[in-house]
Chain A
Amino acid sequence: QQPVQSPQAVILREGEDAVINCSSSKALYSVHWYRQKHGEAPVFLMILLKGGEQKGHEKISASFNEKKQQSSLYLTASQLSYSGTYFCGTDSEMNTGFQKLVFGTGTRLLVSP
């Protein structure tokens, strides 16, 4: 079942923070985050595993709450380059991962000067 992302869209000014949520109705083993700019291929951000720690990548970090079956992506001090559509992909089977991901419908983020 497809995870639900919220919000569907967000507009920020440069320097502002944002949180994107990804919720599933199933127990999760891993959550994968990707960003896609218009007309381009999705690009990997990070993977969070069940029982793992919060991950970070420069000013983008994410958490994984197993009990709530959700993950959140945190964008701090946003830059113009952060604009794009953010997708979470979830897998609910042990020992699978990317090859069985179900992606959400995406969150469109626009950062303006």
Chain B
Amino acid sequence: NAGVTQTPKFQVLKTGQSMTLQCAQDMNHEYMSWYRQDPGMGLRLIHYSVGAGITDQGEVPNGYNVSRSTTEDFPLRLLSAAPSQTSVYFCASSYSGLTEAFFGQGTRLTVV
């Protein structure tokens, strides 16, 4: 049972490049979320999904897109990378909004 798997673990991008951060879970969870974590800022919600085909914006959605075509996968797309998007990105999933959430191991992204 792998839980929540994020790839890649590390990535360096040049300003203006695009890329997709992958997130997959094998627990059949309906709820999935993407967070970014910056020093001293805690976890900030980027986008979330409550089921296949249903996504919504969180606190800091600008510059990011998501889609949820299957229950298992919830990729995060950076459209045109900016240095301000340098951060650690976490994907999480949960059975419902009021149950334990499981986090992936994170993707450390640097934009130069």
Contact = CB atoms under 8 A, between A and B. Distances in A.
Partners in one complex: yes
Interface in A1-54: 2, 30, 32, 34, 40-44, 47, 49
B105 A105 contact: no
Interface residues of A, number: 26
A47 B103 contact: no
A41 B104 contact: yes
A96 B58 CA distance: 13
Nearest to A46: B100
A30 B98 CA distance: 8
B41 interface: yes
Contacts of A64: none
A44 B100 contact: yes
A87 B35 CA distance: 14
A28 B30 CA distance: 23
Nearest to B30: A99
Interface string B23-35: 0000000010101
Nearest to A5: B42
B97 A98 contact: yes
Q: Could you tell me the dominant secondary structure of chain B's interface residues?
A: strand
B94 interface: yes
A59 interface: no
A20 to B, nearest CB: 14
Contacts of A104: 42
A89 B101 CA distance: 12
B95 to A, nearest CB: 10
Interface of A: 2, 30, 32, 34, 40-44, 47, 49, 87, 89, 91, 95-106
27 contacts: A2-B42, A32-B101, A40-B105, A41-B103, A41-B105, A41-B106, A42-B43, A42-B90, A42-B103, A43-B103, A44-B101, A47-B100, A49-B98, A87-B43, A89-B43, A95-B97, A97-B98, A98-B94, A98-B96, A98-B97, A98-B99, A98-B101, A99-B31, A99-B33, A99-B49, A102-B59, A103-B35
